[in-house]
Structure 1
Amino acid sequence: MSKRLRSSEVCADCSGPDPSWASVNRGTFICDECCSVHRSLGRHISQVRHLKHTPWPPTLLQMVETLYNNGANSIWEHSLLDPASIMSGRRKANPQDKVHPNKAEFIRAKYQMLAFVHRLPCRDDDSVTAKDLSKQLHSSVRTGNLETCLRLLSLGAQANFFHPEKGNTPLHVASKAGQILQAELLAVYGADPGTQDSSGKTPVDYARQGGHHELAERLVEIQYELTDRLAFYLCGRKPDHKNGQHFIIPQMADSLDLSELAKAAKKKLQSLSNHLFEELAMDVYDEVDRRETDAVWLATQNHSTLVTETTVVPFLPVNPEYSSTRNQGRQKLARFNAHEFATLVIDILSDAKRRQQGSPLSSSKDNVELILKTVSNQHSVESQDNDQPDYDSVASDEDTDLEATASKANRQKSLDSDLSDGPVTVQEFMEVKNALVASEAKIQQLMKVNNNLSDELRIMQKKTSRLEKQNSTPESDYDNTPNDTDPDDMGSSRKGRQRSMVWQGDGSVPDTAEAHTAPSPVLPSTEDVIRKTEQITKNIQELLRAAQENKHDSYIPCSERIHVAVTEMAALFPKKPKSDMVRTSLRLLTSSAYRLQSECKKTLPGDSNPPTDIQLVTQQVIQCAYDIAKAAKQLVTITTKENNN
């Protein structure tokens, strides 16, 4: 932070003391409880950052502080300042109000419905009004009056408005005047630093001409914000834009042989139009933001009563400006585990660089491949029959699922990674920064998941104890994810349809089905599944405690106990379950257990190449444990529903 918050500062939404989060695009500071609601609204409504535990460009934080200190909150609460509002019973939330429904309803009305902003007089032609507002914005950005510009933007002024008479945009004007905070505000609302004016100059050009070097450098950073954020998410480094390096493309630390399927999928990604590729990249950027914010959120809540199911944001909230299929595709990004998501991010970085530099499609240095596979929910077929790659920026039509599987190129031991101006070694890639992928935060998250799972298991046991045991069930496939209402179940369903993966060093993961065995609709009793799941979660908790206490020598025995428990649980099910949902859940369960053992073995002393990064190993171990817990929970859910039919 550029400065410490004054103790007198209060939450913009409920007036609670010591707000620790900011809503960047609203110019406000908010408390933890109100932030939990902001996060559920989506970045198109509120872009939240923690004031201490999130990296901030100094001028961006200064912009938010300036807005807050100059009364930006009154823009969003304009009509509430009218005494008549109090008489009519309309009031803002207070610290004593419950988060749900009181604070949540007020915050949604304030920011999503814009219920309290100043309304302009009705005009016959809305476009004229927007044009007038944009012209006012164009004039205002040459001054330091940020709140005036935010008010105009809140009323509908366009940050990228091209003035027909002046031949430029508001960002050109702000850059020429050296107004760096205005430039930050315009960029938050979508202004493009690469836009050319009528004479072919960009805002960066005007900033440099005027001697505003800090502003010029910041505008370049803003121009590459998407790819910079994705690279920083993976390796904690940013390109050196001052010296002309605009991309960092990390290598994966392990590799898989490229299949023809992967190569075909890569070509399909590369053949996307620039527009569709940009949409996909923006969606992945939003998912990176969601994952990073989740990590900070979990690390800062101290597991108080605030961390409840109502504060979980399991996937990207719906943006009504996008199509339903694009929203579905955005939400399915949350299904990707850490390894798969890293693969997707690297593929996007690689192709973004290729597109900007105009490189040909063929490349001898493809670091990573991505398969986006569509699986029809309405057909219960073997996963190997569904391996059709599908690159798209949105989900497929109807109920198809957008999923990704990692497929990594051969590791280049010469450090010849695909970079712009400077190599990133495998070791550097493995130096994953604490702030973004904090092991402690992930441990705590998984602890919470396991505690919730244990509670659910006890509830299910009580229910099933009153039911008569059934040895067979009607033939029925669970084609769709269990539609449970609580967000944590939605989280488990996201993991449910991930297929098994072949990991380096593991060999092939044994399939739970055998080709010569006929499909069987018979499932084990719910009580048996619950009993084995409890055993798995107990062993996972031991592993997590070892991770918390840095007892790395306990990883291997813990992983072996988990593997035994997983094997025993898988043995309860038929060799070839008829339900496709059961098959995929079992594959995730067993493949994650094999992967866990492989990761834990990396803690053994000896010659390792590259040297073992214990922090990265711990993160991978936690991710594997998380996938195991989720798969086990889904199997409990499926068998409970089947046996109760």
Structure 2
Amino acid sequence: MTKRLRNTEVCADCSIPDPRWASVNRGVLICDECCSVHRSLGRHSSQVRHLTHTPWPPTQLQMVQTLYSNGANSIWEHSLLDPASVMSGKRKANPQDKLHPNKSEFIKAKYQMLAFVHRMPCREDDSSTAKDLSKQLHSSVRTGNLETCLRLLSLGAQANFFHPEKGNTPLHVAAKAGQVSQAELLTVYGADPGAPDSNGKTPIDYSREAGHHELADRLVEIQYELTDRLAFYLCGRKPDHKSGQHFIVPQMADSLDLSQLAKAAKRKLQSLKNHLFEELAMDVYDEVDRRETDAVWLATQNHSTLVTETTVVPFLPVNPEYSSTRNQGRQKLARFNAHEFATLVIDILSDAKRRQQGSLISSPIDNVVKNLAVRHGSDSQDNDQPDYDSVASDEDTDQELLSSKGDRTKSLDSDLSDGPITMQEYMEVKNALSASETKILQLMKANNNLSDELRLMQKKLQSLQSENTSLRRQVTTNIYHTPSGTDHPDPSSPSALKRRQSARASRPTSMYETGSGLKPFLSKGESPYPEEGVPTLQPFPPHVSKTCSLYCRRSRLRSSGWMGEGHSIPEQDDQESGSDPALPSTEDVIRKTEQITKNIQELLRAAQENKHDSFIPCSERIHVAVTEMAALFPKKPQSETVRGSLRLLTSSACRLQSECRKAAPSEGGGPGTDMQLVTQQVIQCAYDIAKAAKQLVTITTKENTN
């Protein structure tokens, strides 16, 4: 299974001869140095394999070789092929460049920011554009032109697209046509080999009916790739799917941790809902890949010349498609020693087998064990955020592997047996469902009433906003048209008071990320603002969700320390005592965050498309939206958490405007300006705003539900 490619190839990123690694989802070959950067990006950006020291499915290796030979690298370097790129200062990395920062910055821009990929003409309806691309993909996979399909996938075509007229997916078409390499490419980008078409047939069924039995067997392997990889990691064997054996659970029970804590952890694992179990299994798969690739990396390097920064990836890199809590939980997996990690892997294998073979529900765990391909798709998103508890702190011991699910999830030990359901259990479930339906009807009625009230409040709010705008114009007129001889008015005068109120009203506020699908171009290095103590932020979920980390003990993450002492707003630093007025309603705060979200999405889109002249207008709209959100809160909130979040909100919006001005040609953003650095700092500010707004939404939700 380890076939060596030709020695005449060169690295796709820096042109060093004889690359020894491949990026499977990008279809390129890379050298050792560039591979170290690829690994730091994470599997969602680049899935790396060693060409000789890693076991390869032959058809997957052939797919990568075909893509590279047919110029797949030109997809990721499209704009660099334009002669005008030389004049603009854009260039590809070369062998003489230093790994840091030259090669690493180029690779991040190429694969993480997709800075050189061909851009489709802007259209108002992005969903129709993706649909058109997906239909083109659906037609193209019946041919052997892999590069065309990869180009469509890079532009946003969906590998799991269900054609409304044809009644099937691209993988059905490729399987029926016997296009093995197309099937490999589609599954790497998320196609599901077990997805039924309108007639209930899967791609495996089509390939068998057409006589493509080797392709059918390969698709079955892809279905079970997750559990196969975990089993191979532990015992070096994979199940024989042709004989009907789909699972291998290593017989290592005698050597595993059988403490009460480990048993409790296993029970909690069994009580997880299917989608949460899938997420945990996928995260463990990524950790297995990280550990195995580290072993290959260390075995193939020249240890006399190893550089620390290119040795290993210490933990799973951040995936911007996941919540910050899930990313932190994924990184905690690196703290497990071999014994603990083996225990976790065997528990997952055992429960995956139990869920598929012993489950009586209509949605079996097939979607877990066979659907690793879905998590391969770098553009796939799941808006149903994981219901994790907060992750363990660094002081927690590695033996404390599992936290409580909290009051919301009761123990399901009595429901986990593989025996038949009794009549009593059936009646209990039926009665519970009836009670739930009644409660749902009541909630729907209450929701309708609240919606009516919300519409009335929105009308009133619009009226107040119009009045507020008129007052601001009057204040501005008073500021800039003072009578002669009043250059230094009395601070206590009414006009001075109006100016202070106007200055307050114009101070920016923030939002939280709502899953726009645009990937932030955040560097993995230090924060652009170390003096403020603001850590590098990850994207936040589209709604406020309670979170937990499996196999880690619960610990609350303190919100203090996000901002330094130098960023405060005068009315919040005022230490005068007074009653804390009620916080605004959750609906008002969320509505304002939606306005800010829309504006930040426009800013991120402008950054992605290098439209730097759009930065200032976007930042001004964010400024206005933030100001309106900040106005919802009391001027002197007693809660330190609220004050800290508002400080982060307002100071980040101020910094955002300052950074956006640097990108404007009229403000000095000329040829000597490092636009990539400015763009990264702009996005960092935007996500600082998102963080602060998310905290405010969380606070108001908690206070209004108490």
Displacement of 1:257 after TM fit?
Answer: 7.8
Deviations 1:268-299 (A, max 9, x none): 21111110000000000000000000000000
Distance 2:338 2:119 in 1: 45
Q: Is the CA contact 1:2–1:62 (under 8 Å) kept in the aligned structure 2?
A: no
Displacement of 1:262 after TM fit?
Answer: 3.8
Q: Provide the residue aligned with 2:9 in structure 1.
A: 9
Q: Is the CA contact 1:373–1:388 (under 8 Å) kept in the aligned structure 2?
A: no
Deviations 1:483-528 (A, max 9, x none): 9x9xxxxxxxxxxx999xxxxxxxxxxxxxxxxxxxxxxxxxxxxx
Q: Provide the residue aligned with 2:278 in structure 1.
A: 278
5 Å-filtered alignment, 1:616-627, equals none
Displacement of 1:318 after TM fit?
Answer: 0.2
* SS, match of residue 55 in structure 2: coil
5 Å-filtered alignment, 1:259-278, equals 259-278=259-278
* SS, match of residue 25 in structure 2: helix
Q: Which runs of 5+ in 2 are unaligned?
A: 362-387, 407-532, 536-550, 554-706
Q: Provide the residue aligned with 1:390 in structure 2.
A: 403
Work out the number of aligned pairs and report it: 386
Q: Is the CA contact 2:4–2:52 (under 8 Å) kept in the aligned structure 1?
A: no
Displacement of 1:311 after TM fit?
Answer: 3.9
Displacement of 1:88 after TM fit?
Answer: 1.6
Q: Within the alignment, does 1:329 sit opposite 2:329 as a pair?
A: yes
AA in 2 matched with 1:94: N
Distance 1:152 1:387 in 2: 46
Displacement of 1:354 after TM fit?
Answer: 0.7
Q: Within the alignment, does 1:117 sit opposite 2:117 as a pair?
A: yes
Distance 1:388 1:328 in 2: 14
Q: Provide the residue aligned with 1:287 in structure 2.
A: 287
Q: Within the alignment, does 1:243 sit opposite 2:269 as a pair?
A: no
Distance 1:95 1:224 in 2: 40
* SS, match of residue 22 in structure 1: strand
Displacement of 1:376 after TM fit?
Answer: 6.0
* SS, match of residue 217 in structure 2: helix
5 Å-filtered alignment, 1:553-572, equals none
Distance 2:290 2:249 in 1: 21
* SS, match of residue 49 in structure 2: strand
Q: Provide the residue aligned with 2:215 in structure 1.
A: 215
Q: Provide the residue aligned with 1:353 in structure 2.
A: 353
Displacement of 1:263 after TM fit?
Answer: 3.5
Q: Provide the residue aligned with 1:188 in structure 2.
A: 188
Deviations 1:63-82 (A, max 9, x none): 00000000000000001001
Distance 1:159 1:375 in 2: 33
C-alpha spacing 1:2/1:237, structure 2 compared with 1 (3 Å)? closer
C-alpha spacing 1:83/1:373, structure 2 compared with 1 (3 Å)? closer
Distance 1:85 1:25 in 2: 26
Given the two structures, how large is their TM-score scaled by the length of structure 2? 0.52
Displacement of 1:250 after TM fit?
Answer: 0.1
Distance 2:49 2:291 in 1: 12
C-alpha spacing 1:37/1:204, structure 2 compared with 1 (3 Å)? same
Identity %, equivalent residues: 84
Q: Within the alignment, does 1:168 sit opposite 2:168 as a pair?
A: yes
Q: Is the CA contact 2:257–2:340 (under 8 Å) kept in the aligned structure 1?
A: no
Displacement of 1:359 after TM fit?
Answer: 4.4
Distance 2:235 2:171 in 1: 31
* SS, match of residue 168 in structure 1: coil
Q: Provide the residue aligned with 2:476 in structure 1.
A: none
Q: Is the CA contact 1:373–1:389 (under 8 Å) kept in the aligned structure 2?
A: no
Q: Provide the residue aligned with 1:27 in structure 2.
A: 27
C-alpha spacing 1:360/1:152, structure 2 compared with 1 (3 Å)? closer
Q: Within the alignment, does 1:303 sit opposite 2:303 as a pair?
A: yes
Given the two structures, how large is their TM-score scaled by the length of structure 1? 0.57
Displacement of 1:389 after TM fit?
Answer: 4.0
Displacement of 1:174 after TM fit?
Answer: 0.3
Q: Provide the residue aligned with 2:129 in structure 1.
A: 129
Distance 1:13 1:217 in 2: 35
Q: Provide the residue aligned with 1:75 in structure 2.
A: 75
Q: Is the CA contact 2:21–2:35 (under 8 Å) kept in the aligned structure 1?
A: yes
C-alpha spacing 1:232/1:2, structure 2 compared with 1 (3 Å)? closer
C-alpha spacing 1:270/1:211, structure 2 compared with 1 (3 Å)? same
Displacement of 1:357 after TM fit?
Answer: 1.1
Distance 1:90 1:373 in 2: 45
Displacement of 1:4 after TM fit?
Answer: 3.6
5 Å-filtered alignment, 1:494-573, equals none
Displacement of 1:169 after TM fit?
Answer: 0.5
Q: Is the CA contact 2:234–2:342 (under 8 Å) kept in the aligned structure 1?
A: yes
Q: Provide the residue aligned with 1:314 in structure 2.
A: 314
Q: Is the CA contact 1:374–1:388 (under 8 Å) kept in the aligned structure 2?
A: no
Q: Provide the residue aligned with 2:598 in structure 1.
A: none
Distance 1:40 1:274 in 2: 30
Q: Is the CA contact 1:301–1:307 (under 8 Å) kept in the aligned structure 2?
A: no
Q: Is the CA contact 2:256–2:339 (under 8 Å) kept in the aligned structure 1?
A: no
Distance 1:389 1:340 in 2: 12
Displacement of 1:390 after TM fit?
Answer: 1.9
AA in 2 matched with 1:305: T
* SS, match of residue 340 in structure 1: helix
* SS, match of residue 29 in structure 2: strand
AA in 2 matched with 1:218: R
Distance 2:305 2:404 in 1: 41
Distance 2:86 2:257 in 1: 67
Distance 1:294 1:261 in 2: 30
AA in 2 matched with 1:337: N
Q: Is the CA contact 1:229–1:285 (under 8 Å) kept in the aligned structure 2?
A: yes
Q: Is the CA contact 1:8–1:17 (under 8 Å) kept in the aligned structure 2?
A: yes
Deviations 1:87-117 (A, max 9, x none): 2221100011100000000000100010111
Displacement of 1:304 after TM fit?
Answer: 4.0
RMSD of the TM alignment (CA)?
2.8
C-alpha spacing 1:140/1:265, structure 2 compared with 1 (3 Å)? same
Q: Is the CA contact 2:328–2:391 (under 8 Å) kept in the aligned structure 1?
A: no
Distance 1:260 1:110 in 2: 49
* SS, match of residue 111 in structure 1: helix
Q: Is the CA contact 1:374–1:387 (under 8 Å) kept in the aligned structure 2?
A: no
Displacement of 1:388 after TM fit?
Answer: 8.8
Q: Provide the residue aligned with 1:138 in structure 2.
A: 138
Q: Is the CA contact 2:401–2:552 (under 8 Å) kept in the aligned structure 1?
A: no
Q: Is the CA contact 2:24–2:47 (under 8 Å) kept in the aligned structure 1?
A: yes
Q: Provide the residue aligned with 1:252 in structure 2.
A: 252
Distance 2:249 2:116 in 1: 45
Q: Is the CA contact 1:33–1:306 (under 8 Å) kept in the aligned structure 2?
A: no
AA in 2 matched with 1:91: R
* SS, match of residue 317 in structure 1: coil
